Structure 1
């Protein structure tokens, strides 16, 4: 079939949004003739270099951006880029309409941004439209706001307001109505889409891992030595919940254990002050922001991933940890709650901070004291990633979906 993919963010060798755009397009091109709408400013040179090195004959890229605003990163990565994204979606419709007249696509698929509260005007084309997976419907439970700084609270309020405004946009509702099929990344997003009247909906993670990454991570030995190392990896932001993991580690008060925190961000100083306040500075190490390869080397030397994020649509790090045979301790929220099962880790209810910290601590104690449980969870995690979260499997699933939609 001839498939048109909208991937505002698309770049090989990346995680998060750019990785979703690139990997979905590349995998789908194994089965169909694929045209990808994307921007030139961030990724054209990288994409073209990758295609020269590893050609994908069925994969074609159509680059364009706003004539009056060519650099999408201008005026900020947050508000400025979101405005650029919205206007680019309008432009994408006219580019796609001209292409459709020439090529006659069988189906169009919006892939990135992975955002339910902005429209995709490609839904207006007279062919089946697939939306997603889209996310962004997740919120930090209000009880957890008590730990946030004033700036963090303003961020959460602004985020909720922008999302609410998006839900009032008639074009978002038109996108929902025109979608033959919708995929959501989390239960929270699915609930918001149901309120828009969507029924043909399924929850699937946005993220995946390459066959190469899964193969490399599967070679990591499942450790059975001491000290038992807990590790948290990611940007040090309030909603990542690392303060909850640190408090739980202090409450668990386990001998022969360490806690490694890998990443940089605005919460770094607050987290280090918390470690001093709790009297566990000698057992907690902050590694700062590191390249991915060095971060994975630290994962290799660790036993258990702690990822208490309060509103993650994705959670790539949980997939990487499971592929590496590491049990995952997360909150029963967002993307990690979709990825992690009772066989691969602990999903902690997020009713309020003291309860969550106490339950996180109990999970830490159980895993630290039971090497056999770490082994069984690690093996189950590897199997789950291999069967569900490789980009190859995701591509096969999209191929099946496309045939069902067109049929």
Structure 2
């Protein structure tokens, strides 16, 4: 049956994390909520910690967004979580476990504020954008369902299993709770959240595989990361026929910067490659010592932390993004590189493995540490050989990478994709479930052309 809603849908967008001045999940929440304003009448509901940044971005409080103050519960529990994670940037599973305790209080306050309007039919759709974690339940889902308003969940993503060869890295990341992560499937409220959602948007094939069969008919696959062309608008212009590579990310064990240095040491020593490492973290000293011991400091530059807006200035001087992360949920940096026309070289696992195709980048199999180092070394050597005497050797692949982002991964394109979900959920214009990425993210061989 086709709905009578013919104009732009009125959407209450719940994004507890939505901040234009931060990165990762808060930036995803903000970017998607803002992009959706082009296809729907959106009112954003977020946590009070984001209020000032949103005001600086020009939104009007009360008209465009509402900031919910849940700090009486959130602040003390987050403080305890930070103590238990045993190090900055570590213990991600521990943080998510605490968020599972904190977030329902936020939604309780959202319902208190907006429940009457939802029941009165003032919104056509309620859409929970963040948290992205599939382990976080939404108590509001059943209430919205009882009000006969569609509840859209997602994109949700996360929980990619640690590769079997990297248990030492798992322990170094203080991921003790990851051994018990599957227990989240039995948490109170998970079944209710999925049952009462009208559509479940998943950001990865792994997350899709964790949705029970009973709900697969309303599950849609749309990767969560997108690109803002205003933030990434330079064009890659690497000079010369020496392979120029960059790494962007936190310097922590699972990102694999140490494997990259080991794989590229010969090329760096011989002057056939340069490497820019952009990022900071607890492994910085170890990585600098590794480079010194391998005698490859000359071609290697550690930029440490730089503002996210400035990353493209360095990245755009590169032929490739060399990114051997072994446990990446989304892989936003891969899309950022592709948007600039920088060719990604990645491990074929989880998020990056789903974003990169045979004509847009290079994927090496996810094996043991030694196998990844050897495969990266062979790939980098081959690319160095190709570029020698032919500086434009990677230009066709760089153009294909940028075109792929422009077609599928700009935030404007993401909004259009979610619009299709809304139309299907509401029964307007579309009777069949959209399959947006059926052709776009087809499985490809992990090989070099």
Task: Provide the C-alpha distance between the structure 1 equivalents of 2:239 and 2:386, rounded to a whole number of angstroms.
Answer: 10
Match of 2:85 in 1: none
The question of 1:232 aligning with 2:247 is answered: yes
Secondary structure at the aligned position of 2:105 is classed as helix
Gaps of 5+ in 1: none
Q: Could you report, residue by residue, the CA deviation over 1:342-389 in whole angstroms, capped at 9, with x for unpaired residues?
A: 111112110222222111112212222224441111111110111111
TM-score (norm 2): 0.81
Match of 1:128 in 2: 150
Match of 2:24 in 1: 16
Aligned-pair RMSD on alpha carbons? 2.5
The question of 1:393 aligning with 2:410 is answered: no
Q: Is the 8 A contact 2:18 2:28 kept in 1?
A: yes
Task: Provide the C-alpha distance between the structure 2 equivalents of 1:96 and 1:84, rounded to a whole number of angstroms.
Answer: 19
User: Cα distance 1:200–1:373, how it changes in 2: closer, same or farther (>3 A)?
Assistant: farther
User: Cα distance 1:160–1:35, how it changes in 2: closer, same or farther (>3 A)?
Assistant: farther
Q: 1:151 Cα deviation (Å)?
A: 3.5
Q: 1:32 Cα deviation (Å)?
A: 1.9
Task: Provide the C-alpha distance between the structure 1 equivalents of 2:18 and 2:327, rounded to a whole number of angstroms.
Answer: 23
Higher fraction of helix: 1
Q: Could you report, residue by residue, the CA deviation over 1:86-144 in whole angstroms, capped at 9, with x for unpaired residues?
A: 43234334444233134532221111111111111232112222211111121220212
Which of 377, 380, 384 aligns to 2:397? It is: 377
Which of 280, 299, 311 aligns to 1:283? It is: 299
Q: Could you report, residue by residue, the CA deviation over 1:267-296 in whole angstroms, capped at 9, with x for unpaired residues?
A: 222222322333323332211111124322
Match of 1:7 in 2: 15
Match of 1:183 in 2: 201
Aligned length: 396
Moved more, 389-398 or 237-246: 237-246
Q: 1:233 Cα deviation (Å)?
A: 0.7
Q: 1:194 Cα deviation (Å)?
A: 4.2
Q: Could you report, residue by residue, the CA deviation over 1:177-200 in whole angstroms, capped at 9, with x for unpaired residues?
A: 222222222222222224675343
Q: Is the 8 A contact 2:236 2:319 kept in 1?
A: no
TM-score (norm 1): 0.89
Task: Provide the C-alpha distance between the structure 1 equivalents of 2:179 and 2:43, rounded to a whole number of angstroms.
Answer: 34
Moved more, 269-278 or 255-264: 269-278
Match of 1:97 in 2: 115
User: Cα distance 1:149–1:180, how it changes in 2: closer, same or farther (>3 A)?
Assistant: closer
User: Cα distance 1:183–1:347, how it changes in 2: closer, same or farther (>3 A)?
Assistant: farther
Q: Is the 8 A contact 1:252 1:362 kept in 2?
A: no
Which of 50, 54, 57 aligns to 1:43? It is: 50
Match of 2:72 in 1: 68
Match of 1:138 in 2: 160
User: Cα distance 1:258–1:252, how it changes in 2: closer, same or farther (>3 A)?
Assistant: closer
